[in-house]
Amino acid sequence: MSQTERIFTIHRLLGARRAPTLETLMDSLEVSKATVKRDIEYMRDRLHAPVAYDQQSGGYRYRAIPDHPPYELPGLWFSAEEMHALLVMQDLLSQMQSGLLGEPLRPLRRKIEALLEKGTLRKRELTRRFRILGARQRPVEARHFQAASTATLQRRRLEITYFSRSRNETLQREVSPQRLIWYNSNWYLDAFCHLREEPRSFSLDSIREAKVLPTPARDLDLGELEERLGSGYGIFAGKPAHTAVLRFRPPSALWVARESWHPRQKLTPQPGGEVLLEVPYADSREMVMDILRYGADVVVEAPESLREAVTSALRAAAERYAPPRRSPARAQESSA
């Protein structure tokens, strides 16, 4: 039971005018004495609830305030996690208005907006004070999203013309869609690729043409799919074959110490404010990009292949920034 649910339960029990005891509240909420007391203090301090302890009955009640109606919770209020979830849903729905689900989901979007407005902020103030920014978002054509979602839900194969950025080539593929993934502000399709005969992740913005086929899709066990595509690091996740060992120094170590790169990561504090991060991965492409973000504040300690990939990328970047070399003849002319 979340804190929101617990406080609504406490409010209901107090409103029944029974002066529930501490033990009654503990039993009803299935939590410890300390948790009940923290929730009551939260109600007093943050929600201005007139909760009082009644010595005579040995329980809690709402203290009556002259010329005031019975206390009610101040509309809906949200934790940081709940507010973030609602705002993400609202933002995601607004981005899907031109897609397959746009019209059916428009009433849901209005309900979410109404739900948010029941809090302490109204819609205009909410949009001014809260923002969800989709960094590096790549637009997807509505017809391609519609084809991918239709094939996924109806369990039919999908014929796609797909541009591979890593190979700089365009191929026609027949795939069996398994699920759609919203990752780092972009849409991906997890599917069984009948060309490669294995599960693959496809970026929807790289689809150039898409056609839903009448052929039934090949279904994969979701546990197997998660193991093959969802257990490594990043969107290129496959079954982990390596573990990256990264040493971060301040100030970046202060940020990394609070970040979750992977569910099975291992973070170990080191002397001098450094942290050692161990992350399982299968494909190094996204790992290398994220390591480069930290510049000189990170060192790859293992494996050697990942260290060489990062070193090569840094060397290539340094060469691009190096001043152009002058030929000996040009150098003599400039010194003459």
Same domain assignment for residues 153 and 218? yes
Q: What φ, ψ does residue 145 adopt, rounded to 5°?
A: -65, -40
Q: Is residue 95 part of a domain?
A: yes
Residues 158 and 211 in one domain: yes
Domain shared by 123 and 146, yes or no: no
In a domain, 75, yes or no: no
pLDDT tens sequence across 107-144: 655 666 665 555 544 555 555 655 666 667 788 888 89
Q: Provide the CATH number for the domain around residue 194.
A: 2.30.30
Q: Is residue 208 part of a domain?
A: yes
Longest Cα–Cα distance of the chain, Å, equals 104
Q: How many domains, the chain? A: 4
Residue found by looking up tokens 């739900």 in the block: 115
In a domain, 299, yes or no: yes
CATH of the domain at 291: 3.30.70
Identify the domain containing residue 118 by its residue range.
Answer: 80-129
- How do residues 17-70 score in pLDDT, each as one tens digit? 678 999 999 999 999 999 999 999 988 888 888 999 988 889 999 988 888 888
Whether 164 has a pLDDT exceeding 80, the answer reads: yes
Nearest residue to 275 (alpha-carbon basis) of 262, 295, 258, 296 = 258
Residue 70 lies in a domain: no
Q: How far apart are CA 25 and CA 32, in angstroms?
A: 9
User: Is residue 137 in a domain?
Assistant: no
Q: CA-to-CA distance for 13 and 7, rounded, in angstroms?
A: 10
What are the E-state strand segments in the chain?
51-54, 59-62, 156-164, 169-183, 186-193, 198-203, 207-216, 242-248, 266-269, 275-281, 298-302
> Of 190, 222, 254, which residue sits at a domain end?
222
212 and 255 part of one domain: no
207 and 147, same domain (yes or no): yes
Q: State the CATH number of the domain containing residue 47.
A: 1.10.10.10
191 bridge partner residues = 177, 200
Q: Above pLDDT 90, what percent of the chain?
A: 41
Residue 227 is assigned to a structural domain of this protein: no
Which pLDDT tens digit goes with each residue over 234-287? Answer: 666 667 889 999 999 999 999 999 988 888 899 999 999 999 999 998 888 889
Instruction: State the average pLDDT for the chain.
Output: 82
